[in-house]
Amino acid sequence: MAIQEIMIKVEDISKSFESKDATVNALNHVNLEIHKGEIYGVIGMSGAGKSTLVRCLNLLEKPTSGNVYIEGKNLMQLSEKELREVRTHIAMIFQHFNLLMQRTVLDNICFPLEIVGMKKKEAREKAKELLKIVDLEEKAKAYPAQLSGGQKQRVAIARALAMDPKILLCDEATSALDPTTTKSILALLKKINREFGITIVIITHEMTVVQEICSHVAIIDHGDLAETGTVEDVFSHPKTKAAKKLVFQGEDKEYSELSSKRCVRIVFKENPSAEPVIGNMILECKAPVNILQADTKDIGGIAHGQMILQLPDDEIIANRMIAYLQERKLEVEVLEDYVQ
C-alpha cells in the first residue's frame, strides 16, 4: 500500500496568551500529522484549544514554540512574502460565514480573485463555475441577507475554493446550522474532497460531524492532545477520559436510583438493522436491562452505533447476557464506575 504524503505536520507546538492578570496556555506541546487528501477532525469541548490549533496551521496565530509544516515547508522560518504565498493555498470557512453584506453572491466569490489581480471577466466566469459546484447558480445576484444559513455557508465554501486551495480549514463551520442543513454541507465537503483531492481539517465539538465525514480524528482537552486515531478506532475503543466523555456524551450522569452497578457499552458495526438483538437477549436470558444511552443508525441496512446497558445484579445472568452479545459479533466493553 502506498504511503500517503504528509500535507500538514504540527511539531511540539504550544501557544500561550498573556493578559494583565494571568497566562493562559491554550496549547501544550501538540504533535499531529495530517495526510494529503484526508478529511481530518479536531474535536474538543468549548475552550479546549481546537480553534487556536486550527489558526496555528496557517499562522493566523503564531505558536509560542514549536513548528508547523505545510508540504514540508516550515512556516515558522518563512519570510512574510513566502508565508503569504503558502496561505494562498490554505482556505478557511467559519461558523458565521464572514460574507460581505453589500456585495452580491457572485461578487463575494469574486472578491479574493480581485485581490490577486485577476481580470473582472475571468473572475466572474470562475465564480459562476464555483456556484455550480455548490448548487447555487440561481442565487448569483442575491445578497447575503436574502439567503438561508446553509446557502450562506455554500457561498463561503465557493469563495474559499476560488484560489484553488490544497487545504480547507473549517472552524465550527456547521455549528450555526440545523441538523438537516448540516448534513447537506457535510455532503458538499465530502464531494469537494473526493473531486478535487483537497485536504480538509474540520474543527468541531460535535461527535456526529466527525462520524459523518472524517476518516481520522484528534481529541483536544484543555490544550493537550488527548488521543488520535481513525474515527472508527476512537469511536469503538476510546482510551482517554476526554475521548470517552465525547463518545459517551454524558458519562458523568448519575443513576443513583438504580441498584446494579454492572454496565456495559456495546458497539454495533456488523448486525442487520432489522435484528432486535437487545430484545432477543432479554427474551433469551429472561431478565430486564436498562438502556442508559443509545446512539444507533441504519447505514446500508447495517446497524452502526453504540449502546450503554445496565445489566441485572445477578452475576450469572449478566455474564450470560455479555456472552449472548459477543456471540452476535457485538463489541462489548465493561464500564467501571459508570453508575455512581
Q: For 164-221, what is each residue's pLDDT tens digit?
A: 999 999 998 888 888 888 889 999 999 999 999 999 999 998 888 888 899 999 999 9
Q: Which domain holds residue 293?
A: 257-335
What are the E-state strand segments in the chain? Answer: 6-18, 23-35, 39-43, 65-70, 73-74, 90-94, 167-171, 199-204, 216-221, 224-230, 263-268, 290-299, 302-310, 331-335
Query: Is 103 part of any domain?
Result: yes
Q: Do residue 282 and residue 232 come from a single domain?
A: no
| Cβ atoms within 10 Å of 121's Cβ, excluding its own | 8
Higher per-residue pLDDT: 77 or 273: 77
Q: Do residue 206 and residue 277 come from a single domain?
A: no
Whether pLDDT at 257 is above 60: no
Q: Do residue 192 and residue 300 come from a single domain?
A: no
| Cell of residue 9, nine digits | 505536520
Q: Do residue 15 and residue 152 come from a single domain?
A: yes
Whole-number pLDDT of residue 125 = 94
13 close to 52: Cβ distance less than 8 angstroms: no
Whether pLDDT at 100 is above 50: yes
Of the three residues 204, 224, 247, the one that is the final residue of a domain is: 247
CA 171 distance to own-chain centroid: 10
Q: Do residue 295 and residue 221 come from a single domain?
A: no
Query: Is 340 part of any domain?
Result: no
Average pLDDT over every residue of 65-80 = 94
| DSSP letter assigned to residue 282 | H
Query: Is 173 part of any domain?
Result: yes
Query: Is 1 part of any domain?
Result: no
Whole-number pLDDT of residue 280 = 85
Q: Do residue 92 and residue 230 come from a single domain?
A: yes
Of the three residues 197, 212, 247, the one that is the final residue of a domain is: 247
Confidence at 105, pLDDT banded by 50, 70, 90: very high
Query: Is 252 part of any domain?
Result: no
CATH code assigned at 41: 3.40.50.300
Whole-number pLDDT of residue 244 = 82
Q: Do residue 60 and residue 177 come from a single domain?
A: yes
Q: Do residue 64 and residue 82 come from a single domain?
A: yes
Confidence at 297, pLDDT banded by 50, 70, 90: low
Please tell me the total count of domains within the chain.
2
Q: What proportion of the chain, given as a percentage, has pLDDT over 70?
A: 91
Q: Do residue 239 and residue 261 come from a single domain?
A: no
Whether pLDDT at 337 is above 80: no
SS3 28: strand
CATH code assigned at 323: 3.30.70.260
Query: Is 195 part of any domain?
Result: yes
Compute the mean pLDDT over every residue in the chain, rounded to the nearest whole number: 87
> Which residues is 263 bridged to in the sheet?
310, 335
Please report the DSSP string for 89-100 in residue order.
Answer: TEEEEETT----
218 close to 40: Cβ distance less than 8 angstroms: yes
Whether pLDDT at 162 is above 80: yes
Q: Do residue 213 and residue 330 come from a single domain?
A: no
Whole-number pLDDT of residue 106 = 95
Whole-number pLDDT of residue 190 = 93
Query: Is 89 part of any domain?
Result: yes
Average pLDDT over every residue of 29-51 = 93
Whole-number pLDDT of residue 259 = 59
| Cell of residue 50, nine digits | 481546537
Q: Do residue 202 and residue 271 come from a single domain?
A: no
Of the three residues 199, 219, 247, the one that is the final residue of a domain is: 247
**Cell 446497558 belongs to residue:** 309
Q: Do residue 209 and residue 277 come from a single domain?
A: no
CA 27 distance to own-chain centroid: 18
Query: Is 100 part of any domain?
Result: yes
What angle, 0 to 180 degrees and rounded to 10, lies between the N-to-C axes of helices 149-161 and 120-133? 130
